[in-house]
Amino acid sequence: MLEQIKRFLTNKFFQNTSWMVFAQIYQMVISLFIGVISARYLGPSNYGTINYAASYISFFTIFCALGLEGIVVREIISKREQEGIILGSGIIMRLIAGVLSMVAVCIIVYFLNPDDHILLVVTFLQSIILPFNAFNLIDMWYQSNLNSKVSTIIRCISYTVMSLYKVFLLITGKSVEWFAFSTALDSLLIAIMFIIMYRKQGKRKLEFDLQTSKQLLRKSYHLIISTMMAVLYSQMDRVMIGKMMTQTDVGYYTAAATICNMWVFIPQAFTNSARPVIMEVQEHNKSLYVKRLKQLSGFIFWIGVLFSIAFTVLADFIILVLYGNAYMMAKGPLVILIWSTVFSSLSYPRSIWMICENKQNYTKHILIWGVIINLILNYYGIKYYGIIGAAVATLFTEMVTCLIAPTFYKETRIYVRYLIESFIGKGILK
């Protein structure tokens, strides 16, 4: 028994996942102190302004990613000798997309809100992250080697510096524009450190190759569309609340969503660590591959249920402690949105299955259903029930994209079966 425990603790997957979880916990703890104090300092209105702008930027953040994460991991695993070209080509493509997106988001916000000077400045400062996010692709190289220790240290250092920057802003009483720059500072520091560490540890020089870029895009363009659809319906509620109600209401809703996402680092970390393991085993052991997918999905589902029950019961206490009485209007959306995160988190293992089975094109079809349903439900929900209606729209949309929409297509029904079996534990322990 002791020998089994020892083997488990020294297992590369366990150690890699532990580093990822540590990074997320570290960031979450600091956020509870710095982020929440910042939200109180800014108040629902300014806090809403930052997150209203962030909703537009989130759409372009996903576009700039070009759907390359899972694709790059799989390409590196199968073509180790070309990892420098694969990474270099992906980074250059992301840099170009980032610069173009930075210009586009500022133009869009200007035309939609021409008289809101503060919003325009906040949007520009936050959009600086778009080109710098290109270098996050180096993290995929570390993930493909089950070596997230370096990435974890980089992100912790960056987040610490960014948090100290926010402390400075709080002490000196700076305006909302200064807070908007904090996310750009975080991305800038991460990019610099990733470049430095890869130059030291990478075995091959980063290079750009046009042919490789074309091959990566051919494999990822379905995921680009899919992720854009996903972020469209995930951010649609905040954009529509801002247009149909007020930015103060966006602040309440964002506070609720932020609390709900406090546990999501767990499925993200496990998925990122499990991705190369599942992709590698899929090549030679189909039954073990399916078992690992079910184990990951079942774990994510049940830990999500436990967190949702806890957050629902403790909603008043959590909001009061973190944000204060000024944000108590966030309770209604909180107790609804927390259950939507259970279903949205299940998209992580689904993305692994889609790439392994080369069915990325079906992701966009599934998410188009989500966009249409979310748009309709948000319009009528916000119109008649305000931010509560937006939360219900999100919950129903996540349920549809997780369990219902995939059954419309013959090729993806099998994964719904895997998912349901993972909920009841079938095929997980054998």
Q: Please say whether the beta carbons of 178 and 121 come within 8 A.
A: no
Predicted confidence at residue 24, as pLDDT, reads: 67
Predicted confidence at residue 310, as pLDDT, reads: 94
CA-based nearest residue to 65, from 16, 20, 129, 19 = 129
- Residue 229 CA: distances (Å) to CA of 12, 135, 170, 256, 278: 35, 23, 36, 22, 26
Predicted confidence at residue 213, as pLDDT, reads: 74
**What tokens does 227 get?**
């992720």
Predicted confidence at residue 272, as pLDDT, reads: 75
C-alpha span between 318 and 328 (Å, rounded): 10
C-alpha span between 402 and 418 (Å, rounded): 12
pTM score, whole prediction = 0.65
Predicted confidence at residue 21, as pLDDT, reads: 65
Q: Which residue, chain included where needed, has tokens 């259950």?
A: 339
C-alpha span between 206 and 138 (Å, rounded): 10
Predicted confidence at residue 288, as pLDDT, reads: 86
> Tell me: the pLDDT tens digits for 284-343?
788 888 888 898 899 999 999 999 999 999 999 989 888 888 888 989 999 999 999 999
Q: Please say whether the beta carbons of 394 and 340 come within 8 A.
A: yes
Tell me the HSE value of 173 on the side-chain side, using a 13 A CA sphere: 0
**What tokens does 339 get?**
């259950």
- Residue 40 CA: distances (Å) to CA of 75, 109, 218: 45, 26, 46
**Stretches in the chain below the pLDDT threshold 50:** 1-2, 4-10
Predicted confidence at residue 286, as pLDDT, reads: 84
C-alpha span between 134 and 96 (Å, rounded): 9
DSSP 316-365: HHHHHHHT-GGGGGGHHHHHHHHHHHHHHHTHHHHHHHHHHTT-HHHHHH
- Residue 283 CA: distances (Å) to CA of 70, 280, 287, 288, 331: 16, 6, 11, 10, 47
Predicted confidence at residue 222, as pLDDT, reads: 64
Q: Which residue, chain included where needed, has tokens 């586009």?
A: 104
The amino acid that residue 138 corresponds to is I
